[in-house]
Chains A and B, each alone.
Chain A
Amino acid sequence: MSSSMESNKQPSEMQENLALLQELDFFSALPLKAIKLLAFVAERQHFSEDETIFEEGDDYGRAYIILSGELTLMKKSGNTKQVVQHFHQGNLLGTLSLLGVIPSLFLLKAGKKSTVLTISREHYTKIQEQFPETTALSLKALIREVYQWERKNLTQAQLCCLKQAGVTIL
């Protein structure tokens, strides 16, 4: 390899993205070339505090990995908005929307000034076209996540809320 690579000590944005994606369960099982391509097309977005990222009903079609700051998921209730959950650095959300059209049931906004790494459905679909095995692997990862999510919820939920459980037997 030539000296240019050696002199270029600073890691590129793509290399940083790759390292991040390889740490996430949803992406880590994908073929290395597919993850590299995702790292290459992933986009960094910056949001100022209180800026809305998507609204209820929007088909946002993106996965978000929080690099810094905090994102807040909210739900409209009449004229007020209730906080559902806060997401912090390293959290991944929106993977379901990579696999198909899904109008959001929530609103997402930046709770603090935030930077995120995002992958669009458009790009993800192209990766699926090039690497057909990705579809099965994504589904596997998704099933695993949904299962873990419900298991966690079941351990934390009170008896009164069990009526709403059961997404894993859909």
Chain B
Amino acid sequence: MKQKKPKKRITQISLFHWVFAGNLKLQLILLLVIILIVFARVVPLEVQKRIINDSIALKNFDGLLVYSAIYIIAITAAGGLKLAINYLQALIGENAINTMRKEVYAHILSLPLGFFRTTQPGMVVSSLMTELSTAGSFAGMAFAVPVTNILTLLAFAVYLLWLNTKLATVTLLLYPVIVFVLPILQKKANRANKKRVDLSRRTSSQIAESISGIHEVQVHGAFAEENRKFGHLTDQLKKIRIRWSLFRFAIKTANNYFVGLGPFIIFIYGGYLIMNGQLELGAMVAFLSAQEKLFDPWKELIDFYQTYQDASVQYYRTMNYFDALPEFPVECSSAPKQPLTGGIEVQGLSFQTSDGHRLLSDITFSLKPGEHLAVVGFSGSGKSTLIQCIGKMYAYSQGSIQIDGVELSSLSKQEVIENIGYVSQNPFIFTDTIRENLLYAKRATTTLSASGDPKEVVDLDKMILVLQQVGLFVDVMRFGLESTVGPDDTKTMETIIRIRKKLREKFGDKLKKSVEFYSRDSYHHNSSVGENIIFGSSTNPNFGPHLLPENKNFLLFLRQENLHLPLLQLGETLAVEAVDLFSGLESMDLFFEKSPVSFENIKECEKIIKGLKNTTLDQISPADQTLLLSIALAFTPGIHSMTSLPEKLRDKILQARMRFPDWCNSIKPGLFNFYCETSYLPNQSILNNIFFGKIRPGLPGAQEIINQSITHLLIEEDYLEKIAKIGMDFNVGNMGDKLSGGQRQKLAIARVLLKQPKIILMDEATSALDNKSQARIQKLMTTRWKGKRTVIAVVHRIDIIENFDKIAVTKNGKFVEFGTYQALIEQKGALHELIYGKQ
């Protein structure tokens, strides 16, 4: 049987591979177009000669017309064909970049974790997005440019030799001289370019490091130090870029100079030949024209040569950097798989880092399927490394790890992914919805399996179940309840109004303290001044809350109600407070949540306040008035603590609210929908709609009563799942920054649970959870996982280890104790010391 040749690593593939790989058809079409263009470029030369010699000299007007027509057709065709070549080149280039990026990216993702300890994300980004793009562009032109230009040059050369061998030989002798000089300069340029690529990478890494550690930079005020490091690199980069550019320009200038000598030779030597009757005047014109035309293909060839050199340097530099082997093959094996039961047997396990640091030393233990092991010990004692080895994230140096009697190294990565779930202390949450994050691990198992359909939909009930198990369901419900309903979803609106009615009947009194209900007769402290005046929402976008401060009709209403000036005064007060608090500070989203003045408006407010020292509020510009008014209308006394709402103004607002509907009708009936207990409040969250009001802030204990009441009613209306579904579409923000640390950990546990692995590895996976959530996970482990799923948990809180079947205490990469909790406590050794301290 023939042995299959091992597949070449992507990083070992030659740059020229990309020229034809997947583009063969396009390259053949390109070749055809190139032949046509070469023909179309030579024709005008011969036509020029004939126009002068056959038509002008012999006064043949018909001939002149025919030759001129051929000339125009030829140059038009050449133009059109050049466009076609550029298009095909771009197409091939983009294909090559696309495939190259995809394949290199897939390769990078599979590289050993150790590789990423020394590689900054910024470096990977610049390699994939910048350095490879030059190689891709080169792949696009690698065939077309040399073939087109060499053929054109050859065609011109043959034509010139045919016209006059002597003159052609002398003229063409210039080119070998150029071919000798240029590579010398190019070698120097390449050396500079290699240095430039390396320095660019170091600079990218430096930027990535500073930005990733921006908290440390700002906390320690290390601005000067960071600027020094960055400045040093960019200064070096500047120097090397100047050197590189200098050589590149030198190549171009040398080339232009040599080519410029061409006409000089033609005038001197061609003129001599004409005077001696050895050359016709028409032929000399053709020579001059051809000489000029020779310049373009030659210039393109030189440019191509430079692009090749640059691309080659960047391509091989990139590929060499990433030329490492994945520790474990990711692809699925064709061998039939047995479902694992989760028994773990570890014998003499040791792990040593590449720099010789021993993190694990001779660890031996075994767990039956479904047994739970807690690993405790001092930090740096190798706890995390142990479970990362069992999770096949690192290849161990010595010893053996067997799962169900099979050595871990002989299990495919796919089997490991399917059967082992790993939750880290700081889980990475992707910038997407809760649903997508939840399905992340489960999807990966279906994508990797041979018959897997990555789009396989996981049952909503299953997702809800795991969310409940980890205690994230309440949060997801809250996200759902804080969403808004689309204007066409009348069914949901009707249901919500029904729920609202029931809530008032059943829980109205109970919720009075926690919820500020809407009432037409009283001021709503948790709504803005604008909302308090309108007490409804507009049906016309021109009357939307953001446009109202500049709406002439609305301003007229405010003046009628004597509210305009008091509101401008309120806006001024708020602007003064905001400037006092925030001027000179950087944007802090966390603080601006409590301010009606946004960060972007602080500078504008500063200007207005300065101006107000010399003028009065009614004399400032309309734009400034609009800004102050918009600040006042956004002011919400229940949230914005920087000033209080004067009683007189509050009464005036309430009076204006009473007259607002009549005024609206006088403008245009139906312009606003007013809050009414029997109708839906558009643009407000589902929660506000259910309450017909808003939750009062500062009542941490009220949340549970609210959750219970709402869940009760949603179940009654069979609407719980619908809200959960909306909640799962909540976008968790940039890398999950809209979630708390606890929510991130719960989501990470939930995503592992969804794939139902037989072995669960937890690396301080519940460290950010509060007591209640911690207890919930403990309960889940004891009631649902015991005997069914094997658990190895690195635990930081010693008070939760009592329920584990086995406890291991680590010290300096070794197990110093291993046994049941009771036995180890009675032994009064290391565990006893960890719990009760040294006696």
Contacts and interface: CB of A to CB of B under 8 A. Distances in A.
A51 B534 CA distance: 38
Interface in A28-56: 33, 36-37, 40-41, 43-48, 51, 53, 55-56
Given A2-B612, A12-B643, A17-B641, A129 B215 contact: yes
B705 to A, nearest CB: 11
A56 B566 contact: no
A57 interface: yes
B566 A4 contact: yes
A126 B641 contact: no
Contact of A51 (B218, B569, B701, B799): B701
B701 A4 contact: no
B212 interface: no
Contact of B219 (A14, A44, A45, A129): A129
B797 A57 contact: yes
A22 interface: no
B581 A37 contact: yes
B569 A4 contact: yes
B644 A4 contact: no
B220 A8 contact: no
Interface in B755-787: 768, 770-772, 774
Nearest to B616: A2
B572 interface: yes
Nearest to A33: B581
A87 to B, nearest CB: 17
B570 interface: yes
B641 A14 contact: yes
Given A4-B573, A11-B644, A103 B797 contact: yes
Interface residues of B, number: 43
Interface string B773-815: 0100000000000000000000001010000000000000000
Nearest to A115: B698
B221 A132 contact: yes
Contact of A55 (B219, B570, B771): B771
A10 interface: yes
Interface string B556-593: 00000000001001101100110011000110101100
Given A12-B643, A122-B590, A57 B218 contact: no
B273 interface: no
B770 A55 contact: yes
B566 A126 contact: no
Given A51-B701, A56-B771, A12 B591 contact: no
A58 B569 contact: no
A123 interface: yes
B697 interface: yes
Contacts of A5: 573, 576
Contact of B591 (A1, A4, A126): A126
Contact of B641 (A4, A33, A40, A132): A40
B838 interface: no
B700 interface: yes
B648 interface: yes
B699 interface: yes
Contact of A37 (B215, B591, B698, B774): B591
Contacts of A45: 698-700
A46 B699 contact: yes
A163 to B, nearest CB: 13
Contacts of A59: 768, 770
B697 A12 contact: no
Contacts of A7: 569, 646, 648
A37 B595 CA distance: 11
Interface string B212-243: 00010011110000000000000000000000
Interface in B532-558: none
Contacts of B570: 4
B248 interface: no
Most buried by B among A2, A43, A56: A2
Nearest to A53: B700
B617 interface: yes
A97 interface: no
Contact of A126 (B590, B648, B700): B590
A53 B700 CA distance: 8
B642 interface: yes
B701 A57 contact: no
Interface string B458-501: 00000000000000000000000000000000000000000000
B594 interface: yes
Contacts of B701: 47-48, 51
Nearest to B696: A46
A11 B642 CA distance: 10
A142 B644 CA distance: 33
B619 to A, nearest CB: 12
Contacts of A12: 577, 641-644
22 contacts: A2-B573, A2-B616, A4-B570, A4-B572, A7-B569, A8-B644, A12-B641, A14-B641, A14-B642, A36-B580, A41-B590, A47-B701, A55-B771, A57-B797, A57-B799, A58-B770, A59-B770, A122-B590, A129-B215, A130-B585, A132-B219, A132-B220
Please provide the 6 A-B residue pairs with the shortest distance between their CB atoms, ordered closest to farther: A4-B569, A13-B641, A55-B771, A14-B641, A12-B643, A12-B644
Given A45-B698, A45-B700, 4 more contacts: A11-B644, A48-B701, A58-B771, A129-B219
